[in-house]
Amino acid sequence: MNRFVLFLVLFPILAFGVRRPTAAEQKALTHGAEACVVFRVIDVRDRPVEKALVEGNFWNDTRKGNPYSMNTDSNGVCVVTRTCSDDYHFAVTKEGYYRTKGRKVLWNPNFISIKDGKWQPYGATNTVVLKRKVNPVAMCVAWNEARSSLPDEDCLIGYDMKTADWVMPWGKGKTADFFIRYVRQVGTNRLEIKSTLTIAFTNVLDGVYRMKTDDSGSAMRTVYKADTNAVYARTLAFVYDRTAEKINTDTYLTPDDYLVLRTRTECDGHGNLKKANYAKIVGKLAITRENKLKIRFYFNPNENDPNLEADTTKNLLNPRDLGFPP
C-alpha cells in the first residue's frame, strides 16, 4: 500500500518534469529562510582537519548576501547558520593543503525543502575533503594551451613536451614524447564533421591511460603519481563525429578528463623498464580549425619520477606562464 502511494506521489512529478516550488519554498527562494550547514573538513584518509578556514557566502535578498568565515574545531567541524534564498558557496583552505571549493543549491525538486521556515535538511553535513600538498615538483607546464601549428594531416608527427614543440624538422623539439595523427573530414555543411585524433607511442613501454578528474572541488584534480604498474596503451584515438544537428560521437577529452603518460622509456637487456619520464595531459587535447594543436600538459623532467603533482610557483617551460592548478 505504501509503495503504491509513493508511486502515485512520484508519478506526477516524473510525468510532468521538475516540480514547482511550493508557496513556502517560493517565499524562501524570494526572501530567504534560515539555513544551517555543518561543515566537516577531512583529509583523504578521513581524518578531521582542525583550523581549516571555511569561508563563503549564502545567497540572500540583499546586496552583499550573507558572508561567513570561520575555522574548524578539533573535529574538523564548524557550523554556519545564515539566511539564504538560493544557494551557498564555500571555499576551504589551510596551509599545506590545496583549496577545495564548491556550491550547493538548497532547493531540491525531489523533496519539500522548507519546513517551519527553515531549509531542509536543517543542519545537513557538508563533508569537504582537503588534499595535502605532498611533494610538488617543478615541471614543464603548458597551461595556456601550447599552440603549435599542425605540420600535416594524416601522418604521425612527434611532439616534444620539454620544448612544447614538434620534433625536427617540423619544430625545435628533439625527442618525441608522443606522436599525433589527425584526420578531419567536413561535409557540405561545415558542421558535418568527422575527425580522429590519434596519440601514439613508439618506445615499447611508452604509453598512456585515461582518467577522470576529481570532482570534489579540490584544486588537485588528478592523481599525485602515475601508476607505474598500470597498462599503458600504445595508441589512443579520439573521435568526433557529428551532423549539422547532432553529435553522434565525441570521445575527445573534456575538462573532466586527463591522460597519464609514460614516455622516453628505456629498457634493460631483459626488457625491464630502466628509465622513464611521466606526464599528464589535462582537459585539452585537440586540433583547432586553424590546425593548431591545443594541449594542456605537465611534463615531469625528472627521470623515473612518477610524481604528477606540479609546483604551481614554477614553470620550467615558461617561467611567466603560471596560474595553473597542481
User: Which residues of the chain form contacts with another protein (CB under 8 A)?
Assistant: 15-21, 26, 29-30, 55-57, 59-65, 67-69, 85-86, 89, 91, 101, 105, 107, 109, 144, 184, 189-191, 193, 195, 240, 242, 244-247, 250, 252, 255, 286-290, 294, 322-323
- Distance (Å) of CA 12 to CA 7, 18, 112, 113, 316: 9, 10, 15, 18, 59
Q: Is 308 within 8 Å of 223 (Cβ atoms)?
A: yes
Least CB distance to another protein at residue 254 (A): 9
Instruction: Enumerate residues 6+ apart whose C-beta is below 8 A from 2.
Output: none
What backbone phi and psi angles, to 5 degrees, belong to 148? -80, 140
In the complex with another protein, which residue's Cβ is closer, 99 or 225? Answer: 99
Least CB distance to another protein at residue 268 (A): 41
Least CB distance to another protein at residue 239 (A): 11
Closest C-alpha among 285, 219, 292 to residue 255: 285
In the complex with another protein, which residue's Cβ is closer, 60 or 263? Answer: 60
In the complex with another protein, which residue's Cβ is closer, 61 or 153? Answer: 61
Least CB distance to another protein at residue 34 (A): 16
Dist. CA 313–CA 302, nearest whole Å? 17
Least CB distance to another protein at residue 99 (A): 8
In the complex with another protein, which residue's Cβ is closer, 184 or 234? Answer: 184
Dist. CA 151–CA 145, nearest whole Å? 17
Closest C-alpha among 294, 283, 299 to residue 177: 299
